[in-house]
Amino acid sequence: MGKYKRSERTVMLSKRLLENPNKIYPLKEFAKDMGVAKSSMSEDIKLISNLFKEKKFGEIETTYGALGGVRYKPYTNQEGSKEILDNLKEVLQDSNRVLPGGYLYYSDVIYNPQIVEKLGLLFATKYKDEKIDYVLTIETKGIPIAMATAKYLDANVVVARRENRVTEGPVTTINYISGSSRRIQAMSLNKRAMQPGKNVLILDDFMKAGGTAKGLSELVKEYNCILQGIGVIIDTEKPRKKLVDEYYYLLKLKNINELKKEISMSTNKVIEDYKP
The DSSP bridge pattern shows strands 171-177 and 98-99 to be unpaired
Pseudo-torsion of CA 8, 49, 150, 245, nearest 10°?
-160
Q: Whole-angstrom Cα distance, residue 24 to residue 44?
A: 16
Nearer to its own copies, 164 or 269 (CB): 164
Q: What is d(CA 36, CA 275) in angstroms, rounded to the nearest whole number?
A: 33
Contact string 48-77 vs its own copies (x = CB under 8 A): x--x---x-x--------------------
* Residue 158 contacts its own copies per CB under 8 A: yes
* Per CB under 8 A, 91 contacts its own copies: no
Site map for its own copies, 128-157, x if CB under 8 A?
-----------xx--xx--xx-xx---xxx
- Shortest Cβ distance from residue 116 to its own copies (Å)? 7
Task: Identify which range of 14-22, 61-69, 84-92, 258-266 contacts its own copies by CB under 8 A.
Answer: 14-22
Q: Does 190 bind its own copies (CB under 8 A)?
A: yes
How many residues bind its own copies, per CB under 8 A?
A: 55
Q: How far is the CB of 159 from its own copies (least distance, A)?
A: 6
Separation between Cα atoms, residue 128 and residue 216, nearest integer Å: 21
Give Cα 91 to chain centroid, integer Å. Answer: 20
Provide, rounded to whole angstroms, the least separation between the CB of residue 174 and its own copies.
18
Q: To which H or E segment does residue 85 belong?
A: helix 78-92
| Residue 113: partners with Cβ closer than 8 Å, 6 or more residues away | 144
